[in-house]
Amino acid sequence: MSQTIRLLPFAGADGATNMSADEAVLESAVKGVASLRFYTWTEPTLSLGYFQPAADRDADLARLPWVRRSTGGAAIVHHHELTYSLALPPGAEWVSREHWICRAHHIVRRVLAERGVESRAVICGEEQKLGPVVCFLHQTPGDLLIGGSKVAGSAQRKMRGALLQHGSILLRRSAFVPSLAGICDAPGAPEFAPAALAEVLTQAFATDTGWTLTPGAWTAEELEHIPAIRTEKYANRDWNEKR
């Protein structure tokens, strides 16, 4: 049976607001509301994984505004990228036979292939760590690669049976981590604007899942709660530096 999922408006925000919004959609998923949203960052921002020490910010990365994510993994420089957030309620009807990280990356891979950009997923046994701090230098099963460079990575968090998955799709090289090439840096790759790519990925997600994606707005409860989460956690220096 087809499921209905709320498609939230494409938007850009600062790091603390983006992470607070992701936590809000997870809380709504606990109550039975499934959501998908795509977003960008209003300024280059570093996010650390939930368990990552704040001291991992080296001299170069320490220049950036930063936030701690609610999911694990290593540091991400959010600059020339598109970010997605998928929140699914508890229940067997939302479970995928394929791990959701792999499924999301396969959707991205098909969209890229349709536009002449070849990519592949890392498989078990190919894991490698090319640097100590930055997530996109850690290549783990399911990550999406173009010519050996990681261009898509995702992480998850669960709450009372609900699932939050958010991930970064690297579009272009950032001056803050020039060693990391994005999709548009690949030879012959077309230009992908974040909003346009979000629209194409939305259509591909609906086709892949067979679900109905319905454009929707934030609820009044969410709009009230996001600033509260932001103040308590993601904009709170003590919370961000707790490790």
Closest CA to 152 of 91, 76, 215, 70: 76
Q: Which domain holds residue 51?
A: 4-240
Q: Write down the pLDDT at residue 1.
A: 56
Catalytic residue IDs: 135
Task: Print burial letters for 56-95: b (CB count within 10 Å at least 16), e (below 16).
Answer: bbeeebeebebbbbbbebbbbbbbbbbbbbbbbbbeeebe
Count: domains in the chain: 1
Task: Give me the pLDDT at residue 131, please.
Answer: 65
pLDDT in tens, 188-239: 999 999 999 999 999 999 999 999 999 999 999 999 999 999 999 999 999 9
How far apart CA 83 and CA 25 sit, in angstroms, is 15
Question: Model's pTM, two decimal places?
Answer: 0.94
Closest CA to 134 of 190, 78, 89: 78
Predicted local confidence at residue 129, as pLDDT: 67
Backbone angles phi, psi at 23, to 5 degrees: -65, -35
Res 57: pLDDT: 83
Report the chain (243 residues): mean pLDDT per 10 consecutive residues.
91 98 98 98 96 83 91 92 98 91 95 94 65 71 91 95 96 94 94 96 97 97 98 95 87
Task: Give the pLDDT score at 124.
Answer: 53
Residue 142, Cα to own-chain centre: how many angstroms? 14
pLDDT of residue 97: 86
Query: Looking at residue 135, which CATH number applies to its domain?
Result: 3.30.930.10
